[in-house]
Structure 1
Amino acid sequence: MADPNPLVLQRRALWRRASEPILSIALPLCGRNPAIAKRRWTMLGRMIFALALAFAATAPLSALAAGEANAGAETRPALEVIMYSTATCTYCQKARQWFSSHQVAWDERDIETSATAQKQWKELGGVGTPLVVVNGKPFQGFMESAIEAEIAKYR
């Protein structure tokens, strides 16, 4: 019979040195038979390793599931756009066309025909039309880029 590979011999020597403290604990539990002790510790080590792998595999899945559950909680608030306008305002017409072309739903309130709308317009500091309010933030006049940037925060 040929001598085993030197690497195998080296591994066996390392195992003997590493297992000595373990065997000193395991031997009293296994009736002082080193072969049984070694087998039981090996089996125990494999079970612990399998449990660790199972836990490591399920931890990312549970984190993913928690992330999906919280994904709905982290949604942005609904977009609410209100435009205070008049029937003859040309900038109001431009704003209407822009909202339509960008698929933005808006609530239009005519300050000439509605006393409530006029009161709200004055409370918001209205001095002209249109007064566009995006989720509570007023924009005096139709400032396309500023309104678009604000709307983008909610989409």
Structure 2
Amino acid sequence: MEISYELTRDDVREVQTQLLAVRQQEARKSPRQFALLGLAVGLVCWPVWDLAARNRPLLAETAPRLGVYLGVLGVALLTAWLVRSRTPMVRSPWLDAFLIRRMTWQALRKTMLGPLTLSIGEQGLVRRNTRDEFKAAWSEVRDILRSPRVLIVRLKDPRRVFVVPTRAFPDAPGAAAVVERLEALAGHKSVDVGSAPEAPARPWRVRARLPLLLGLLGLSVMLLIVERGPVWYYDPRPANPPGGVIVYSTDWCPVCERLRLCLQRHRVPFEERDIEKSTRAQAEWSALDGTAIPVTVVGQHVAYGLRREQLEGALAEAGYRVDCWSEESSDEQSEP
């Protein structure tokens, strides 16, 4: 079977338009291409996140800042992957037009324009013009795409296609006969890229609510990672022994000085961490919901200021008996 026709620039542009739409659909369905796209988005957005988050105490260090970013990015990509088939594809006409022009220009550099003859035989496809010919075996065919204007046979080599304008066929039955022969010899069913596939029949409520629920779930997980991830990372209590005492303070705080002297007087071993001299100490203090100083961690308990009901009980449970409140009657008033 031989088909003679004339290939024009408009045909090449139509082919690239169809190929761009098909590749966008394939990228949406391909985990590999979706992951590569997510990686590219992540690399582009990281400098913005790094600059915006580094001033927060809980994200001042690189490790938690990067960990939160990767966690949010991973959840966002997973959510987008789950709802990809239930949400419309967002396309930019300007970007599509730019890509089509670029692809058309590249294709015209190696496409044989003018009168062509396409031979469909048992061994494969042969395209000829007055100067050259190109052959491809049926094992090299990737798929067959058809639209109202062109018939495209794609090869496994992404740079090679066979194109037949539909005007080369005398009528619709003639075109259908050629498509059936190509399908039989290539072993591939043709795909109509000129019409959008029909969505599976689902109740409208399920169709509308499922993407919304998945999106809300992904957003909730991302907020949880942002808000609680650094807190879990910096919380000093998991690594603190049952009798360990850590005091978060500053040099100028008088209440911190009273607590320091009290612990020293009662011979309570403690570790003091200045939140103004150590970024890590400030992050740990923030993770403990510190709004004032001092903040004391005794084992797994946290005491704020010199509140007797918190500090005395926590120290007593760790085996230390202290009295930091009987020296002055105004102690409670000086507590933050």
TM-score, normalising length from structure 1?
A: 0.48
TM-score, normalising length from structure 2?
A: 0.23
Larger Rg: 1
The structure in which a higher percent of residues are helix is 1
Higher relative contact order (CA 8 A, sep 6+): 1
